Structure 1
Amino acid sequence: MGDLIRIILLVIIPPVGVLFTVGLGLQFFINVILTLFGYFPGLIHAVWVVTRR
């Protein structure tokens, strides 16, 4: 159930999915910057972070 919620949040707001996966760290801030550049770079990075864990 937790993974499903994390995936839904990941698709809607990529930084939130990363935050719930790795916490408030470097990967989160990288994802925020990538999401500010565009939704898809942030989404791709978030999928990479979440599937890596």
Structure 2
Amino acid sequence: MASRSCTFLEILLAIILPPLGVFLHYGCCSMEFCICLLLTILGYIPGIIYAVYVLVALDRDDYQREYYAVA
């Protein structure tokens, strides 16, 4: 799991250029990146919304899965 400063930087980049923030977290050929790129091409605001959602909500779900796996 990324540290809070990395998450903050990814969210900041996701607001400026949405696919870049998702690329830094998931990589180039991931489904999240492709969806974010498509939404950004179709409209800048939907790309921002999706990128922030993917970086915040999905990252939190991964953390909870890791926690329950350890417990």
- The sequence identity of aligned pairs, in percent, is 38
The number of aligned residues is 53
Unaligned runs of 5+ in 1: none
Unaligned runs of 5+ in 2: 60-71
Amino acid at match of 1:27: E
TM-score (norm 1): 0.87
Aligned partner of 1:28 in structure 2 is: 33
4+ residue runs over 4 A deviation: none
The SS at the match of 2:52 is helix
Q: CA RMSD in A?
A: 1.0
Larger radius of gyration: 2
Equivalences for 1:37-52 in 2 at 5 Å? 37-51=42-56, 52=58
TM-score (norm 2): 0.68
Which one scores higher on RCO, CA 8 angstroms, separation ≥ 6? 1
